[in-house]
Structure 1
Amino acid sequence: MKKITHTLWVINARLIDGLGNAYKNLKSIYIHEGRIRQIGNLTPPDHEKVLDVKGATVMPGLIDAHVHLQSVPGSVFRKDDESRLQKYRYHQLRSYLACGVTTVLDNAIAGPMLREFTQYLESGGAGPRIFALAPAFYPPNGYLDNGMLTAYWGPHWRPAKDRTDVVELFREYEGTDRVIGVKVMLETGFGKANIWPLLSKKVRDIISDESRKRNLPLYAHAYKKKEQKTGLDMGVHCFVHSGFMFTQPTDRFIRRMKELGTYVTTTLSCTFDQMLVQFQRERLDNPYLNLRVPRELLETARDDRVWEDYYDRFFKLSSPKWLPSFFIRALPKLINIEKSIKACLESASRAILTLHEAGIPIVAGTDASSWPVFPNFFHGTSMIREMELLYNIGIPPMDVIASATRVPAEMMGKTDRIGTLEKGKYGDMVVVEKDPLKDPSALESLLWTIKGGEARTPEEWMACDPT
């Protein structure tokens, strides 16, 4: 691994440390060999590198706790070949840094892709620190099976029908210290109808057993009440989506989450909010996007034919097989899609606020880019939108910052390295011009992202040589 030797003094900052504290006029943060050595009133030596932020706000590097790094938005419609997919994937890594995201948790990644990204970063490539949930278990003919991810996802992994499959899937990730948990797909259908089978009770028990042997906590994809109950019965460590598109969390559900110490990841931006871009195309003109998202991807998201094709695929995939094809094709015209998305977003947002107020630990995560047919689930920029949405639903600003820093670090078991600005931790931080405690869009005023003591502007991170 390439040794980090960066030495940097960050001076004259307004500090938000991730622990709930804010300090004005901090004299210095000293970073050496990638870690914070001192925070306080030291004076930098004349010969060492100094970054004078002139009163701007410094806070911990952000953590996006739900990403899918190998998926490129809209690649299905452009028919990207493998070389172009690789180009976009490395571009996406740089985009995270240009958005202040210094750590990501990939929620379902193939073993070969995790090894490729690891090698890329260790050879000097620019990108966030990567951790992963792996394997991601799903049943035969269930959610993710039968080519749902498409060839544009890249390498796939097989479903799990018995202990042999479970053990073999674990073996695909042996030899890496980046796996911090296991994901279980508990998905019967995107709407109210049940389309796919769940993992059997027998296989769920095997997954739980094999995960305990490896000291890997369980994370669950579960949107609906039945699936969420199944996750709690398994002792889930975190629900990787907020769910609650149609109902609200009951007192019993909240009580069981508290008993287990279960976290919940928000995923409002990609799962709901960014679907509204179809009806709000002006959002794609934001200069913030233009720096960080390739032009071809933005053009894809502006294309009416792409959205029509997307909904044709979506309704075909998520409708009961007994529905006639002509009826499925007519569904986009029969359903008020914009109204339905807004209703789901409002319901999920209300549930997150309820959970937060009840003391459930909330983790910011985006689900970028969950499926290559989604035209605009952009990597990096979605995290900024996620935090804005959390501000907007009424979560206090300091708690929003904690949801993207300290809380995910606790969930991942990485508080010795990331999540707060304290002596001994990685020198990962962001510098923003506006005050994030007063302005929900403050992260769009990002001046520098610092990873391991290496400070660059968003433009400089995006210009890094991908080789």
Structure 2
Amino acid sequence: MPIMSIGRSAFGRGRRAALGAGVFAVLAVLAPTAGAAQRPIPETTDDIRRLPIPPVDRSREPVVAIVGGTLIDGRGGRPVANAVVLTQGDRILAAGPAGSVAIPADAARRIDATGLYILPGLIDLHIHFTQQRGADFGKYADSPAGAAIRGVALAEQLVGAGITAVRDVGTVDDVALRIKEAVDRGVVRGPRVLWSGRIIATTGGHGDEVTSTATGRQKPAMGGTTKGYNGPWEWRAAVRHQVRNLADWIKLGAPASKEELAAAIDEAHSLGVPVAIDSYGEYTDWAIEAGVDTLEHPLLMSAGSVALMKKHGTAFVPTIGAFDNLLEGGYPTAGIPTGGFYHTHSRRFVIDQQDHLNKVTEAYRAGVPIGVGTDIPFENDTRYPDAYFRELAYLSQAGMSNADVLASATRVGAEIMRMGDKLGTVEKGKIADILIVGASPLDSLGNLRDVRYVIADGKVVVDGAAR
């Protein structure tokens, strides 16, 4: 079943209900009357945690009118010619045909989008702000501060390409959190950030290896004290620590026992936080059966994995480009040879690009929600933002239509991210994350590269008029 046909499907409703139940269970402890119904919170933070905040008065914020362009609003309908989109502050006031949307006389700005295409901002569901950048990277000592500087540069690259929301699924210390805060406060330019802290792994598992995942080089002092967790209760405690440290998502790594995976997923869901996993083989199936929310990468998936994903409502973030890069040239500046991951205990299998594409095709035909994620671990300075658009091309190679790839990059991505009520479409009440390009992406996904304007959180961060 094509992705565009799932709409706000049982996937979205079921997952939101499950996570909402976890949040309500926590809040029920604070309820003044036992068994009282949980009332909706009028205003919350614009992230997964949905913390209550005081009411926000946007009535005095300037109104921006985007006029004359063709609107592809992300909801699956036909494009709207000669559209008007109004924003005020960080929210969309209205969107539709020119005759149906009145432009206020005191609008602070009109953006003439005549001949252009207006669509939701793009979403990357799998990045790492703290990865390697630069051909001369090996000359310099690394540190969390250095990683943060690299991350800020990447944030600028992403939002400049129209990628207005990202999910960081593994960071050094709290770097991704601080970039999230800096973007929120307007200190740096970048996309909206959801983050998951450090990967939760067993001792020696993916996320706690003594040797480099890609090169096999041993880490200083043999990796130091393990940061792995062992046994279901340690995995529960690790989840609690991540949530305490303000994580929006939990990221798990295989290998792990069935009991450890189930404990971590159950604990996260009880706290209203979703879970992603970097997995392979039988560990993948165990995680799906335990209710993991997203599967990252199509690595060594079993013949029954896709059917399990469909049954349990698991979303799929294939990151095809990350592995094709290994097969087609490696990462020369990082010393990674062509062919695959070598010397790595948690990657003891052959990487097969055609098999990866076949898994995406199978998942697409089964109606599994598919999101766009890049996961470029090296050479970020030269591979972004091109890696994002190449990932869209891989999804096309797997048989997805342009409309469905665009949906994966916007509405479906927002639903997978658990932000479907705030992001992913251009409609009244949504966050004002808007991309304006020079030609229709429904005709060619390559047209997404022709960025004219980017509005992120209501701010014009790429200004076609100025350029």
Taking structure 1 as reference, are residues 388 and 173 closer, same or farther at Cα in structure 2, changes over 3 Å only? same
Contact 2:64 2:86 in 1 (8 A): yes
Does the aligned pair in 1 maintain the 2:433–2:455 contact within 8 Å? yes
| Contact 2:70-2:115 within 8 A present in 1 as well | yes
Distance in 2 (alpha carbons) for counterparts of 1:318 and 1:89: 28
Deviations 1:299-331 (A, max 9, x none): xx6xx5x3655569952335999xxxxxxxxxx
Distance 1:157 1:26 in 2: 59
User: Higher relative contact order at CA 8 Å, sep ≥6: structure 1 or structure 2?
Assistant: 1
Residue of structure 1 equivalent to 2:432: 427
CA contact (8 A) 1:62 1:404 kept: yes
Give the alignment of 1:62-461 within 5 angstroms: 62-73=122-133, 77-79=138-140, 81-82=142-143, 84-124=146-186, 125-134=188-197, 136-145=199-208, 146=210, 148=212, 158-162=227-231, 163-164=233-234, 166-168=236-238, 170-174=240-244, 176=246, 179-186=247-254, 198-224=255-281, 226-244=282-300, 250=303, 252-273=304-325, 275-277=327-329, 306=333, 308=335, 314-317=341-344, 344-369=352-377, 372=378, 378-457=383-462
Displacement of 1:208 after TM fit?
3.0
Partner amino acid, structure 1, of 2:356 = A
Give the Cα–Cα distance (whole angstroms) in 2 for the partners of residues 274 and 433 of structure 1.
Answer: 33
Contact 1:18 1:421 (C-alpha < 8 Å) held by counterparts = yes
Contact 1:31 1:427 in 2 (8 A): yes
Matches of 1:80 and 1:433, distance apart in 2: 42
In structure 2, the partner of 1:293 is none
Residues 331-362 of structure 1 show CA distances to partners (whole Å, capped at 9, x for unaligned) of: xxxxxxxxx87xx2222112201210111111
Is the Cα–Cα contact under 8 Å of residues 73 and 120 in structure 2 kept in the other structure? yes
SS in 1 for 2:124: strand
Distance 1:439 1:90 in 2: 30
Computed over aligned residues only, the root mean square deviation of the Cα atoms, in angstroms, reads 3.4
In the alignment, the residues of structure 1 paired with residue 380 and residue 149 of structure 2 have an alpha-carbon distance, to the nearest angstrom, of: 17
Q: Give me the whole-angstrom Cα distance separating, in 2, the residues matched to 1:386 and 1:209.
A: 32
| Aligned-residue offset at 1:129 | 0.5
Structure 2 Cα separation of the partners of residues 216 and 157 of structure 1:
25
Contact kept, 8 Å, 2:294 with 2:316, in 1: the verdict is: yes
Q: Distance in 1 between matches of 2:326 and 2:346?
A: 22
Secondary structure (helix, strand or coil) at the match of 1:51 reads: strand
1:97, distance to aligned residue in structure 2 (A)? 0.6
CA distance change for structure 1 residues 92 and 347 in 2, over 3 Å: closer, same or farther?
Answer: same
- Helix, strand or coil at the partner of 1:456: strand
Structure 2 residue runs of 5 or longer lacking an equivalent are 1-44, 46-55, 214-218
Please say if residues 97 and 458 of structure 1, whose CA atoms lie closer than 8 Å, have aligned partners that are also in contact: no
Matched to 2:275, the amino acid is: L
Q: 1:450 and 1:132 mapped to 2: Cα distance?
A: 22
- Out of 27, 48, 63, the residue aligned to residue 83 of structure 2 is 27
Separation of aligned partners in 1, 2:257 and 2:306: 25
Which residue identity is paired with 1:391?
S
SS at match of 2:119: strand
Shift of the 76–409 alpha-carbon distance from structure 1 to 2, 3 Å rule, reads: same
Aligned length: 393
Aligned AA (1:148): S
Instruction: Tell me the CA shift for residue 209 of structure 1.
Output: 3.6
* Deviations 1:83-103 (CA, angstroms, capped at 9, x unpaired): 654332211001111111100
Which stretches in structure 1 are left out of the alignment for 5+ residues? 187-197, 279-300, 322-339
Shift of 1:185: 0.9
Q: CA–CA distance in 1 between the matches of 2:338 and 2:398?
A: 28
Report if aligned partners of 2:169, 2:197 keep a CA contact under 8 Å in 1. Answer: yes
Match of 1:15 among 47, 57, 71: 71
**Measured at CA, do residues 275 and 78 of structure 1 come closer, stay the same or move farther in structure 2, by a change above 3 Å?**
farther
**Aligned partners of 1:97 and 1:320: how far apart in 2?**
32
Q: Distance in 1 between matches of 2:380 and 2:431?
A: 34
Normalised by the length of structure 1, the TM-score is 0.74
The aligned amino acid for 1:357 is: R
Task: Give yes or no for contact 2:371–2:412 (8 Å, CA) kept in 1.
Answer: yes
CA contact (8 A) 1:391 1:440 kept: no
User: Which residue among 114, 135, 143 is the counterpart of 1:54?
Assistant: 114
Larger helix proportion of the pair: 1
Contact conserved, 2:423 with 2:430, CA < 8 A, in 1? yes
Q: Is the 8 A contact 1:133 1:181 kept in 2?
A: yes
Give the share of equivalent positions with the same residue, in percent: 21
Deviation at 1:220, TM superposition (A): 1.9
Cα distance between partner residues in 2 of 1:21 and 1:438: 15
Instruction: Report the Cα distance in structure 1 between the residues aligned to 2:146 and 2:253, rounded to whole angstroms.
Output: 29
Q: Structure 1 residues 25, 355: CA separation in 2 closer, same or farther (over 3 Å shift)?
A: same
